[in-house]
Amino acid sequence: MRARKLNGIDRYSTFGLRDEWMPLIFTHEERWHERNNLGPVQVKAVGSWLADAGLIVKEKVTPLFGRIRDLYFMEPVAAWQILWVSMYHGSPIVNLFCDNVGFDEYLDKKGIMEAIRPDLGDIKDSTVENPVSALINMFDNSRLGAIVSMRKRGRSSLVKRIHLDDLDHHVVAYSLYRLAEDIGSREIGLEYLYGDECPGGPLRLFGTTMESIAVKLQESPSITLDDGVIHLDDTSSDEILDSYISSFRVKIDERPHLGSEDLEFRDRLGELIINEPDKLFGERRDDLEGFLRGSSLRELRIGYASTLNPEVSADDFHGRGSDILVALILRTHEGMPAPTLQGPDNVLMVFPDASMAAEDYEILLDHMTLALSSDDPEHSDAAGRMVSAWVGDLMASGFQWYLNGESGRGDRLYGLSELINSELSRRIFHSGPENLPVIRGNRNLWKTGNYPKVFEIFFSENLEEFKKKTGSGLLRFIAHILRGPGGDWIVDENLNLLPDVYHPVKTMMDVTVEKFSRGDFDPVDEMKFLSKPPYGLKGDMIGHAVVSFILRALRGHMVKDGRLLEDGEFRVLKERIIEGWD
């Protein structure tokens, strides 16, 4: 049994690192823990993962942080694989998982705990339960889910490790160099690599077979395999990663030959991209949109146009009134016109600075043509790498934005969701919950769901009861629905709104009461306005809270069949109102 460092194994609570948090972290670097919309427990967990992965040391970002960021936007799956290697060498729970969990069966949390139990020594099961949950949570919420197979059994997640034989040779090399740096030797025998005592390597981390490793080593110029021994040259693991990042930016100078039919296909493809520039991204479109959404508190509905055909209409988007419509206007290559700053109401127009060189764009069209017309993997790979490099350039580029007659600039496109959360959303929903700093600062309040307890809280008889019910956990944050930006209560002791306060909830209340006063009030229909600008409520904890509070104010006034509605009927009515927003 190898000696292990298990101190502080329970430092992630039940939270793994998530894809949606990465743009936020990459945007704010050392200050990410100050500028985020995560809960306090999540902040602590993320900090532990970043430290164990070697991205942040003593609250300072490391060179690995920058390399992972560069790779992430070009090849996110590979970036997570590199993170997995680094976590193995820094995180006790990842180390235990890779060393003890086999590839034969699906395991739930209890099964994983039993598998790692022999290496836990005197550590109690209660101590290791949280980190195992955090690991499963990370598989569920990041691209690390691609290194395992997952199933659901009731509410439990089942995990089975799988053999990954399609790793890029740079990932294989990186895992070997990290192993060599750990054991202090640049000669690694295959027998040792596949033995029980080997602290790392592609088999232990990814289940890569010996046959696949032999093939990958032939692609790695810094590694040789001779008589069952892997020889690594003096290259460092950091240099391997630099080489991987540079491989996406290797310039392709020679254009492939296209026949007459290919040229016709290419012309049609070029016209299509002018009108639908998202076609250029192919399978990378989902990645790009995931990067842009990041940790946005609201759903972003993303549309595309080019500067050659920049017309955008709000009707082009399909979403709810509480969503934010984002039009990404692309200047795909040099020679295209500069963007014109204009757009329809409540549509955020975003113009990235990045564009491809004209000759690179022409070469990309050539390879896309041959990839699509002949299904040639060589041309698919060439086009894919060019598109990946361009996505990386886009995400790292500055951008202009235009919204409702105002405009400005952002430093990095991968910081768009943060700019939306902190500034731009309020230009659309100027009477929405994002105008309350504490509400804006906790993304857990913005998750859609069914919140029966929230109804009970906001139907409290008085402020004292309300305070008791919101004294701990997430509920103490939702209490800020009834506080002003400075933290002062906007209600009196009987939970009635104070006069002469400017507050989103009071604005929503006033409009609803005015509609009610007209008579013939159908709350499901009349309260749909709350889900649209400038309010933008949705079926999250905030929406449930505000609707419950408004209905509380109408208690004693709403009648059905000649009698006043009871609290249970108000509860059902609240659900119908929120369901009507969809």
pLDDT at 410 over 90: yes
Lowest-confidence region among 93-97, 273-277, 531-535: 273-277
pLDDT at 562: 83
pLDDT at 256 over 80: yes
Residue 17: other Cβ atoms inside 10 A: 25
Whether 108 contacts 158, CB under 8 Å:
yes
pLDDT at 149 over 60: yes
pLDDT at 99 over 90: yes
Using one digit for the tens of pLDDT, what is the confidence trace for 540-576? 999 999 999 999 999 988 888 888 999 999 999 999 9
- Residue 323 has which token pair? 């969503």
Helix, strand, coil percent values for the chain (each to nearest 5): 55, 15, 35
DSSP 3-state of 215: helix
Instruction: Report the distance separating Cα 252 and Cα 518, nearest Å.
Output: 69
Asked if the peptide bond before residue 92 counts as cis, ω within 30 degrees of 0, the response is no
Q: What does the domain layout of the chain look like in residue ranges? A: 19-160, 169-248, 260-421, 430-580
Beta bridge partners of 350: 328, 401
Query: Could you tell me the pTM of the whole model?
Result: 0.90
pLDDT at 192 over 60: yes
**Average pLDDT of the chain to the nearest whole number:** 93
pLDDT at 213: 93
Q: How sure is the predictor about 520, in pLDDT bands with cuts at 50, 70 and 90? A: confident
Instruction: Report the distance separating Cα 74 and Cα 364, nearest Å.
Output: 16
Lowest-confidence region among 62-66, 195-199, 385-389, 519-523: 519-523
pLDDT at 340 over 80: no
Taking the CA atoms of residue 291, residue 251, residue 215 and residue 281 in that order, the dihedral angle to the nearest 10 degrees is 30
Instruction: Report the distance separating Cα 26 and Cα 51, nearest Å.
Output: 14
Residue 26: other Cβ atoms inside 10 A: 25
Whether 224 contacts 53, CB under 8 Å:
no
Whether 291 contacts 74, CB under 8 Å:
no
Amino acid at 45: A
Beta bridge partners of 328: 304, 350
Instruction: Report the distance separating Cα 108 and Cα 428, nearest Å.
Output: 44
Q: How sure is the predictor about 315, in pLDDT bands with cuts at 50, 70 and 90? A: confident
Instruction: Report the distance separating Cα 337 and Cα 108, nearest Å.
Output: 55
Using one digit for the tens of pLDDT, what is the confidence trace for 45-55? 999 999 999 99
Whether 105 contacts 160, CB under 8 Å:
yes
Q: Degrees (nearest 5) of the Cα angle 542, 503, 466? A: 55
% of the chain with per-residue pLDDT over 70 = 99
236 or 319, which is more confident: 236
Secondary element (H or E) of residue 326: strand 324-330
pLDDT at 425 over 80: yes
> Once rounded to an integer, what is the mean pLDDT over residues 460-475?
95
Whether 457 contacts 412, CB under 8 Å:
no
Q: How sure is the predictor about 4, in pLDDT bands with cuts at 50, 70 and 90? A: low
pLDDT at 431: 97
User: Taken in order 6, 11, 14, 17, is the CA torsion positive or negative?
Assistant: negative
- Closest listed residue to residue 434, CA positions, set 549, 544, 318, 533: 533
Q: How sure is the predictor about 374, in pLDDT bands with cuts at 50, 70 and 90? A: confident
Give 128's contacts (C-beta < 8 A, 6+ positions apart): 9, 10, 93, 113, 116, 120
Instruction: Report the distance separating Cα 580 and Cα 582, nearest Å.
Output: 5
pLDDT at 158: 96
pLDDT at 3: 54
Using one digit for the tens of pLDDT, what is the confidence trace for 389-399? 999 999 999 99
- Residue 66 has which token pair? 């920058």
DSSP 3-state of 200: coil
pLDDT at 366: 96
pLDDT at 2: 58
Instruction: Report the distance separating Cα 572 and Cα 21, nearest Å.
Output: 35
pLDDT at 554: 93
Using one digit for the tens of pLDDT, what is the confidence trace for 113-141? 999 999 998 899 999 999 999 999 999 99
β-strand 559-560 against 563-564: which pairing, if any?
A: antiparallel
Q: Is 247 left (phi over 0), alpha (psi -120 to 50) or beta?
A: alpha
Beta bridge partners of 161: 148
Instruction: Report the distance separating Cα 266 and Cα 260, nearest Å.
Output: 10
Angstrom CA distances, 526 to 105, 240, 517, 523, stand at 54, 61, 12, 5
Instruction: Report the distance separating Cα 325 and Cα 362, nearest Å.
Output: 31
User: Taken in order 246, 252, 256, 260, is the CA torsion positive or negative?
Assistant: positive
Whether 499 contacts 505, CB under 8 Å:
no
Q: How sure is the predictor about 33, in pLDDT bands with cuts at 50, 70 and 90? A: confident
> Once rounded to an integer, what is the mean pLDDT over residues 521-538?
95
Angstrom CA distances, 206 to 54, 84, 171, 320, 441, stand at 19, 9, 10, 41, 37
Angstrom CA distances, 439 to 292, 436, 487, stand at 22, 5, 11
Name the H helices within 459-566: 463-469, 475-478, 504-517, 523-526, 541-554
pLDDT at 181 over 60: yes
